[in-house]
Chain A
Amino acid sequence: GQQVQQSPASLVLQEGENAELQCNFSTSLNSMQWFYQRPGGSLVSLFYNPSGTKHSGRLTSTTVIKERRSSLHISSSQTTDSGTYLCALATYQGGRALIFGTGTTVSVSP
Chain B
Amino acid sequence: EIQLVESGGALIQPGGSLRLSCVASGFIFSNYEMNWVRQAPGKGLECVSYIDRDSRIKYYADSVKGRFTISRDNAENSLYLQMNSLTAEDTAIYYCVREDGEPAAKDVWGQGTTVTVSS
The judgment on whether A and B are partners is no
